[in-house]
Structure 1
Amino acid sequence: MTHDREKSIFERLKFALVHEWLTPEATGGSELVVKKILQHIDAQLYALIDFESSNPQSYLYQRSIGTTFLQKLPLARFGVQKYLPLLPLAIEQVDLRGYDVILSSSHAVAKGILSSPHQAHICYCHTPMRYAWDLTFDYLKGSRAGRGLPGILTRFLLHYLRGWDVASANRVDYFIANSKHTARRIWRCYRRKAEVIYPPVQIDRFKFQEKKDDFYLVVSRLVSYKQVGTIVDAFNQSGKSLVAIGTGPELEQIRALARPNIQVLGAQSDRVVEEYMSRAKAFVYAACEDFGMALVEAQACGTPVIAYGVGGARETVRDIREYPEEGTGLLFETQTATAIVEAVKNFEESCDRLNPNVIRSQAARFAPTIFEKRYLAFVERCCQEFWSGKLDQNHRLEF
């Protein structure tokens, strides 16, 4: 594609951006990626379902967003995942023939959009479909649908989804991964290479505080793979003060498990979360995350992190034992209460050597401006490589 001094490719080409679902409850890292992309690329937005364009509190309020037939199904507003067998079919019904470039933000099926040979498809992959791959056995074990005859049908469905997931990966021209860990998973599942571009973390939203209070903190959805129960068990054993923030199907179970040294606060506002993060002695996390945005948010407050040392945590947290001058926390090797108790003990022996300013500097590596620069440059480079030709006077692609 030839360079145009008057117009960039972002002005000359028509872009579509596809995400899985847009609801007020979906406010994680993948949604932040969508928001940042839309701030810099004029793209028409599509999703399986959309309940944000009707939400006055959303930046997407009154925006035109394309959806699928799932939008009209009962209870879709409260979780389209209940229609899991229909998700591949639904995403394939979205007609994007009128666009030059398809951008997808995918953690399930968004990358499976149908495209034509003259369209470039660039996928920002937050994770290959977790319940079809890494979390298959957790999903089966923790669900009534995993037992008896329903269990057989569920296993068949997941088998089908894995096949579709691999096949649909061939519809993507360029993959971006949100971490090196995710890039390895993309290679494992799809045998495709991916460019690593870390997601944007709103580090300026979090208050930096050098002086910390004497309590530990976990902020997480209360679902089985997050291992919050394991953290609570560890602090039951140690007797140290822990604050747990978050909600989910395990909330009552966690409350029943917690002893008096543990406060289970349930769901809290962003303001409350930010306040606790800035004051905590350390942020504790026991899940294997593809990136782990909360780990970076804690460090933005100058708060050290004690985390399970697998996945994205190895890229965002610097273990004080490995980086004596630049440490930002401590990693433990197994998802057990015993390992967490030992990690907290080791942390307390070395926490005086942790510098809150160094911890904050580590978080700055994941600032939104860095994401924006790298993402836009990669998209431009992919477009130039994809066509390696020119646009005619009507801005149609020529080969």
Structure 2
Amino acid sequence: MADGSRIFAPAAPALVTGRAPRVAIVHYWLTGMRGGERVLEALCRRFPEADLFTHVAAPERLSQTLRAHRITETRIARLPFARRLYQKYLPLMPAALEALDLSAYNLVISSEAGPAKGVIPRPDAPHLCYCHSPMRYLWDQAPAYRRDAGPLTRAAYDGFAPGLRRWDVTSAARVDRFLANSSHVAQRIGKYWRRDAQVLHPPVDTAAFAPVPRRDLGAYYLWAGELVPYKRPDIAIEAFRQLDLPLIVTGGPEHTARTLARTAGARTQVLGPVGFARLRALMARCRALIFPGEEDFGIVPVEVMASGRPVIAYGRGGVRDSVIEGETGWFFDRPGAEALADLVARCEREAAWDLDPDACIARAALFAPSRFNAGLERALSELGI
């Protein structure tokens, strides 16, 4: 194509009815199935005829739901080693988005956490943006990103970040309606982009989780998720080393799991990635989930509550929307292992982790897919769709 993009066509073309809108869904990159891609699946189910646009796609790592759609990559995908190093090309992504020709589409939906919302729809096409997060590395996490970067990366970042921030704010004006995945994200949209956003929590497949009888509960605590720095598995490992209590850590990538295992205490097991059946069992039998990072929403706490178990979390971020202190979990307010260890020790002394499983399950039910679908329909109706 003239703009350098590349298309992955589905095995069977989607059926487009005469009355349905022609829909373009823009997602930052499609390199695996995480929380953002689960929201994308829900959007695709609502618009089975939609075409997907993204900077880089790895179809073999995507669900059948996503692969059933026509996927167009931007010209970023043509750059060397783009599938592995796509984030290195961040400064080039605004121009790649603006080069996409969306003139055939009368509804544009962007799924934003990396650059996605900056496309240019035609004048009569409503643009709905579902925002998982304004780009963390440009805004609230910028100091941490610079601190952890090497000298060359830091110098490059200091060169491109100011211009990319200006583009990020300017491109927000192209959106007609923002949906935010949590109150925390809505607040950041207001702060950085000066736009209002309606909160619509992501869909969580709560029906896939179930409690176990009390007699089958274990004595361990659980950390689960992707082993990336901002989720702070290191805090959980250090706190439980101090406490000398059993902790299970599960998630990938495997090389990070091996590194963390070398720092773990004697009663901490770092399992690495596990299958869904085992993860489901670990969630249902744990004393509580340990959730020490600041996240935009946090699907894992909802899954654990759907399993009838409570959550011990750092009291900032989207988890404030899901966990009710004293009913479905507790918060510690100072970041770091010491504050987490203090709270877990108190829970142990008071057996506070023995909360009502039904209260946890009822709270999790508020984040079921039906809630997301209803909220999406309201937003579309307000745009005249």
Mark yes or no: TM-score above 0.5. Answer: yes
Structure 1 segment 194-213 matched on structure 2, within 5 A: 194-211=197-214, 212-213=217-218
Aligned to 1:292: 298
Tell me the CA shift for residue 330 of structure 1: 0.7
Aligned to 1:227: 232
Q: Which of 111, 129, 133 does residue 135 from structure 2 map onto?
A: 129
Alpha carbons of structure 1 residues 56 and 126: separation in structure 2 relative to 1, 3 Å: closer
Highest RCO, 1 vs 2 (Cα 8 Å, sep ≥ 6): 1
Tell me the CA shift for residue 158 of structure 1: 1.7
Instruction: Show structure 1 runs of 4+ deviating over 4 A.
Output: 54-57
Structure 1 segment 181-200 matched on structure 2, within 5 A: 181-200=184-203
Aligned to 1:61: 67
**Contact 1:16 / 1:101 at 8 angstroms: preserved in 2?**
yes
Q: Which of 47, 60, 75 does residue 54 from structure 2 map onto?
A: 47
Q: Deviations over 1:103-128 (max 9, x none)?
A: 11111111111123211101000100
Aligned to 1:376: 377
Alpha carbons of structure 1 residues 352 and 311: separation in structure 2 relative to 1, 3 Å: closer
Aligned to 2:249: 244
Aligned to 1:274: 280
Q: Which runs of 5+ in 2 are unaligned?
A: 1-16
TM-score (norm 2): 0.90
User: Higher mean Cα deviation, 343-352 or 183-192?
Assistant: 343-352
Aligned to 1:164: 167
**Contact 1:210 / 1:356 at 8 angstroms: preserved in 2?**
no
Tell me the CA shift for residue 62 of structure 1: 5.2
Aligned to 1:391: none
> How many residue pairs end up in the alignment?
364
Aligned to 2:12: none
Q: Deviations over 1:58-98 (max 9, x none)?
A: 33335321111122333222352122221212222211111
- Other structure's SS at 1:21 match: coil
**Contact 1:227 / 1:335 at 8 angstroms: preserved in 2?**
no
TM-score (norm 1): 0.87
Aligned to 1:173: 176
**Contact 1:305 / 1:330 at 8 angstroms: preserved in 2?**
yes
Q: Please give the alpha-carbon distance, in whole angstroms, between the structure 1 residues aligned to 2:170 and 2:353.
A: 51
Alpha carbons of structure 1 residues 57 and 289: separation in structure 2 relative to 1, 3 Å: closer
Aligned to 2:11: none
**Contact 2:347 / 2:353 at 8 angstroms: preserved in 1?**
no
**Contact 1:224 / 1:250 at 8 angstroms: preserved in 2?**
no
RMSD after superposition: 1.9
Q: Deviations over 1:332-352 (max 9, x none)?
A: 101111111111122231526
Q: Deviations over 1:203-241 (max 9, x none)?
A: 111232242210000012222221111111100000000
Aligned to 1:396: none
Aligned to 1:362: 363
Q: Please give the alpha-carbon distance, in whole angstroms, between the structure 2 residues aligned to 1:10 and 1:233.
A: 59
**Contact 1:138 / 1:225 at 8 angstroms: preserved in 2?**
no
Aligned to 2:331: 331
User: Higher mean Cα deviation, 338-347 or 304-313?
Assistant: 338-347
Q: Which of 253, 257, 260 does residue 254 from structure 1 map onto?
A: 260
Q: Please give the alpha-carbon distance, in whole angstroms, between the structure 2 residues aligned to 1:374 and 1:345.
A: 40
1:14 maps to 2:14: no
User: Higher mean Cα deviation, 11-20 or 32-41?
Assistant: 11-20
